[in-house]
Amino acid sequence: MSPHERRTREAQARLRERGDDCLVLFPSTNLRYLSGFDEHPGERHLLLFVPAAGRDAAGGTGGSDESDGDPDPVFLVPELYGEQVREESWVPDVRTWADDADPRAALASVLEDLGVDGGRVLVDDTMHARFSLDLRAALPGAAFGLASEVLADLRVRKDEAELDAMRRAGEAADAVVEDLRERDADVVGDTESELAAYVADRLAATGGTGVSFETIVGSGPNGAMPHHAHGDRAIRAGDPVVLDFGTRVDGYPSDQTRTLAFGADENGPGGEFRAVHDVVREAQRAAVEAVEPGVTAGEVDAAARTVIEEAGYGEEFIHRTGHGVGLDVHEEPYVVAGSDRELEAGMVFSVEPGVYLPGEFGVRIEDLVVVTDDGHERLNRTDRGWRC
């Protein structure tokens, strides 16, 4: 059984446990997670139907081709996608509709064949409204919910294939950090956008595919804006520069932040920077050290936040400590104040405390962390200091 089929069978079991009847996905990370097929959303009906049970089990009259009691899901795709979906997905039942046909009739036919005529149907959280409305029209008596009600808890624990991809993505990001440190003073004079383009090129050269998200290069006062991407400001010698970037391997991302000072003298940037950097580095260390099974996400957030508050910068730590990472760069679990979500082995999330002084500079240090059976594993291993 492939990883994608195994995940689908687990999702079906959860649907039955909850009393849900069907899961309907469209091009999204959820669809990729269960089927292996990856595509961008479009205007055509491309849907994956995952029934909880076959018609007989659901109380219908027809038969169903089942494996160990689980009916196979059904792909409904535009005709031009048929061969591609059969080639790239494990799903054996792929049905097509032609551009001159009404896809809503094909949609209704699939639901009838699966024995779904009401009950509770979970739709992809990001499904376009037109497809959701077509499902509602085909199932006027159904109640609807979100796919994340079942899939979030399934996706939150990564399997070995996922962890392997994320380790390799982390290694690619680490290699680029080392490359940037070696460049040191050669970076001075580059604009933020030029450095972001350089980072993207180097990520590709180290085996990554694209960037995980728009690269952040925040130099000097721009670093005080946590989601400043990059602009035309030229990097000056000794500027603190927040560098937040990652790449993907097999669809899974890395996400790492270092705050570096290029071309700095031996004393580094002046003012409060060195003290703030020390505080953020200690906060990040404390939070990572708190990670183990059974600890809550809120306790990890508190470990970082306490260090920063005791240093007098609590008001300048203006975001959560971290977020889960998987096929989506931001997903469960969220490491936020007050969260009572207990950590479990296989969870992957960022630990990224920061302090931001408007008009002056920002400091953020981030690594991805895996919860293991008896503690944690960092997916990033480069030095966390500011010196190049």
Phi, psi for 368 (deg, rounded to 5) = -90, 145
Per-residue tokens: 69:
């009691």
Same fold, 3-155 and 160-378: no
CA distance 325 to 347: 9
What's this model's pTM, rounded to 2 decimal places?
0.91
What are 47-59's pLDDT values in tens digits?
A: 999 999 865 433 4
Q: Report which residue type is found at 62.
A: G
Distant-in-sequence, close-in-space partners of 140: CB < 8 Å, separation ≥ 6: none
pLDDT of residue 238: 95
Residue 68: per-residue pLDDT? 52
Q: How is residue 175 written in tokens?
A: 């290699």
Please report, for the chain, how many H helices and E strands are present, in that order: 11, 20
Residue 59: per-residue pLDDT = 42
Q: What are the tens digits of pLDDT across the range 192-227? A: 999 999 999 999 999 999 999 999 999 999 999 999
The residue extents of the domains of the chain are: 3-155, 160-378
Type and span of the H or E element at 48: strand 47-51
pLDDT of residue 205: 96
Rounded distance, CA 213 to CA 253, Å? 9
Three-state DSSP class for residue 300: helix
Whether the predicted pLDDT of 43 surpasses 50: yes
Q: Which two tokens stand for residue 197?
A: 């383009």
Please state the rounded mean pLDDT for residues 308-327: 98
Cβ count within 10 A of residue 263: 17
Q: What is the percent of the chain with per-residue pLDDT over 70, rounded to a whole number?
A: 96
- Give the model confidence (pLDDT) of 91-117 as tens digits: 999 999 999 999 999 999 999 999 999
- Written out in words, the top-level CATH class of the domain with range 3-155 is alpha beta
pLDDT in tens, 138-169: 999 999 999 999 999 999 999 999 999 999 99
Q: Given 3-state DSSP classes, what are the helix, strand and coil percentages for the chain, each rounded to the nearest 5?
A: 40, 25, 40
Check residue 266 and give its pLDDT.
80
- Domain 160-378: CATH superfamily is Creatinase/methionine aminopeptidase superfamily (3.90.230.10)
At 57-78, the pLDDT tens digits run: 334 433 334 445 689 999 999 9
DSSP character string of 90-139: S-SEEEEE-TTS-HHHHHHHHHHHHT-SSSEEEE-TT--HHHHHHHHHH-
Write down the pLDDT at residue 54. 65
